[in-house]
Amino acid sequence: MTDLGWVPDGIDTNVPNVARTYDYLLGGAHNLAVDRELGDRVLDALPGARRMARINRSFLRRAVTHLVASGVDQFLDLGSGIPTAGNVHEVATRARVAYVDSEPVAVAHARLLLADVDRATAVQADLRDPDDVLSRPEVADLLDFDRPIGLLLLLALHFVPDSDDPWGVVARYRDRLAPGSHLVVTHATADRRTRAMRDVADSTARTRERLHYRTRAEVTRLFAGFDLLEPGVTGFALWRPEGAGDISADADDNAVAYAGVGVKPTAHPTPDHRARGTLT
Ligand SMILES: C[S@@+](CC[C@H](N)C(=O)[O-])C[C@H]1O[C@@H](n2cnc3c(N)ncnc32)[C@H](O)[C@@H]1O
C-alpha cells in the first residue's frame, strides 16, 4: 500500500479513474485529487450526477431485495466498484456475494471491508472474460452454479465497447447460470439528454474506461434469453419505486440510465429471444 493506506502500490495517482470518481460522486472517501477534478467536470456537464448515483444505489437495493424475496441467496456483482454503504451483502444479509472489479483500489478496499465476512469475496478481474471470472477459485468455491444466482451489472456495461460484444459477454454468463437466476442491469444512455451526456463522455476521455452509451433497444437486447420482469427496461428511478426517496422529482434523472431485471426461465430459452420492455 502507498502512504495513503488504501491505495495499492503501482497505482498511477495522476490518472483519474471511474471507480474512484463514482465514489467521489457518492460522497465516499476513496478518491484522489485527479478523481475529484474529473467528478467536478462531470458535475458541470450533469449537475444532478450525485443524485443520479444515489438513484442507482437505490435501484440496487430494490432489485437485490426483490431477488432475495424470490429465493436468490447468491450474487455475482460485476463491476462492483468501491464498496460503499448499501452493498449487496449488506442488503442481502444472508447471501453469498462475489464482488468483481478490474480496479485495484476497488478490490483492495473491498477486501479490507470483507475481512470478517465469510460469505463474501472480492476478485480483481475483467468482466469481459467470463471464463476467467467464473474459474477464479474465490468465485467457483463460493457460488453454486447449479442453483439460481443474481448476476449484477450496474453502471458497468457501458464501459464495454461494441467491439468487445457486451451482448455476447452477458450471454456467456447466462449460459452458465441455472434457471431462476436473475440478470440486473443499469446502463447509461444518451437517448434523451444527448448533449449533456456527450459532455460527460468528453470529460471522462482521460480515463482508461471510455463511456459507450446505448439505446433502450440495445440495453433491452442484453436480456436475450431472460424474461424481463415488469416494468421492463425503464428509467432507473422508475423500476418499482418503493418510497418517496426512490422517486426523483426531476424527470431528467430518469433520462440518463436504463434499468431492468430479468429471470432465466425454466423452459428452454431461445437464443434470439427478444426481451419485452415498456416505454418510459
Ligand atoms: C460506475 S462504477 C459502478 C459501481 C457499482 N456497480 C454501482 O453501480 O454502484 C463502474 C465500475 O465498473 C468497473 N469496471 C469497468 N470496466 C470493467 C471491466 N472490464 N471489468 C471489471 N470491472 C469494470 C469500474 O472499475 C467501476 O468500479
pLDDT tens figures, 95-105: 999 999 999 98
Strands (E), 137-211: 150-154, 182-188
Q: Which CATH number fits domain 48-263: 3.20.20.370, 3.40.50.1220, 3.40.50.150, 2.40.30.10?
A: 3.40.50.150
Q: Region 188-199: what's the mean pLDDT? A: 94
Query: In the prediction, which pLDDT does 62 show?
Result: 96
Domain extent listing, the chain? 48-263
Residue 174 C-alpha cell reads as 447466462
| Alpha helical stretches, state H, 76-157 | 88-91, 104-113, 130-135, 137-142
Query: In the prediction, which pLDDT does 137 show?
Result: 97
Whether the predicted pLDDT of 215 surpasses 80: yes
Residue 28 C-alpha cell reads as 465516499
Q: Give the global pTM.
A: 0.92
CB-count burial class (<10 Å; 0-12, 13-18, 19+) for 242? exposed
Which residue, by CA, sits nearest to atom 4 of ligand 1?
81
Q: Region 50-60: what's the mean pLDDT? A: 93
Ligand 1: centre distance to CA 268 (Å): 31
Q: Region 221-246: what's the mean pLDDT? A: 91
CB-count burial class (<10 Å; 0-12, 13-18, 19+) for 195? exposed
Whether the predicted pLDDT of 202 surpasses 60: yes
At residue 278 the predicted structure's pLDDT band, cuts being 50, 70 and 90, is very low
Query: What is the chain's percent helix, strand, coil content, to nearest 5?
Result: 40, 15, 45
Residues at CB less than 6 angstroms from ligand 1: 18-19, 22, 56-57, 79-81, 101-103, 106, 126-128, 154-156, 159, 209
DSSP character at residue 213: -
- % residues pLDDT > 90 (the chain): 75
Residue 153 alpha carbon, nearest atom of ligand 1: 6
CB-count burial class (<10 Å; 0-12, 13-18, 19+) for 226? buried
> Is pLDDT larger for residue 173 or for residue 16?
173
Which residue, by CA, sits nearest to atom 14 of ligand 1?
79
Whether the predicted pLDDT of 259 surpasses 90: yes
At residue 84 the predicted structure's pLDDT band, cuts being 50, 70 and 90, is confident
Ligand 1: centre distance to CA 2 (Å): 22
Query: In the prediction, which pLDDT does 8 show?
Result: 67
